[in-house]
């Protein structure tokens, strides 16, 4: 392997589509899990929903930071200046996938809709996001529409699992 090839591999070690799927699925499942935990052990007032929104965003940023840093240190090749920042930048899909749930919680926190029960629309949003990500990436991979819908449904089952687990735990 030449130095040019090694440098090129380090520039984009992960396919953008892979990053979108991984980060999106991770973010949507993280958001659903956090909403379930915060609802289970928190309060459902407007003030607590604003706190939940902030906490979810901080958790997503911390997860993205940890994951980006893990990618950076896991690379066996010597690093160049800026590689750490690029590794962190590549984690944007994880944070982006959490933002809709943050907005749902923040909206409940400022009174746009009721603060009590907002977890159900948040769960539905994340299940739809998981389905959409599965469908989109399957189509990117030139799978048939039938296969893409099936893959989207399997991805959505991750979200359904979190919702069911939350209901069982309560």
Q: What is the DSSP string of 53-83?
A: HHHHHHHHHHHHHHHHHHHHHH--SPP-TTH
Lowest mean pLDDT: which of 37-46, 58-67, 141-150? 37-46
Integer Cα distance of 24 and 1 in angstroms:
33
Quick: pLDDT tens for 98-123: 999 999 999 999 999 999 999 899 99
Angle, nearest 10°, between helix axes 119-140 and 145-169?
A: 150
Cβ–Cβ < 8 Å for 57, 102: yes
Q: What is the pLDDT of residue 71?
A: 76
The chain-wide mean pLDDT, for the chain, equals 84
Q: What are phi and psi of 12, to 5 degrees?
A: -135, 70
Q: How far apart are CA 95 and CA 28, in angstroms?
A: 9
The pLDDT value given to residue 94: 93
The 10s digit of each residue's pLDDT in 127-169 is 999 999 999 989 998 999 999 999 999 999 988 888 788 777 7
Residue-level pLDDT at 52 = 93
Number of domains in the chain: 1
Confidence of residue 2 (pLDDT cuts 50, 70, 90): very low
Give the number of other CB atoms < 10 A from CB of residue 26.
19
Range of the domain at 27: 3-169
Please determine, for residue 11, whether its predicted confidence score (pLDDT) is greater than 80. Answer: no
The radius of gyration of the chain from alpha carbons, rounded to an integer in Å, stands at: 18
The whole-angstrom separation of Cα 65 and Cα 2 is 31
Q: Give dist(CA 94, CA 111) in Å, integer.
A: 27
Sign of CA dihedral 34, 35, 41, 47: positive
């Amino acid at each position: 392997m030449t130095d040019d090839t090694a440098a090129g591999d380090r520039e984009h070690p992960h396919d953008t589509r892979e990053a979108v799927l991984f980060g999106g699925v991770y973010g949507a499942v993280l958001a659903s899990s956090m909403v379930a935990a915060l609802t289970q052990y928190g309060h459902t007032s407007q003030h607590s929903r604003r706190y939940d929104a902030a906490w979810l965003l901080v958790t997503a940023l911390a997860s993205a930071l940890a994951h980006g840093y893990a990618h950076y240190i896991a690379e066996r090749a010597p690093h160049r200046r800026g590689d750490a920042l690029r590794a962190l930048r590549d984690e944007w899909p994880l944070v982006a996938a959490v933002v809709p749930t943050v907005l749902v919680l923040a909206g409940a926190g400022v009174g746009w809709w009721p603060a009590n029960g907002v977890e159900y629309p948040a769960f539905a949003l994340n299940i739809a996001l998981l389905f959409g990500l599965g469908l989109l990436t399957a189509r990117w991979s030139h799978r048939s529409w039938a296969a893409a819908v099936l893959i989207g449904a399997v991805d959505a089952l991750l979200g359904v699992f979190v919702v069911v687990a939350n209901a069982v735990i309560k």
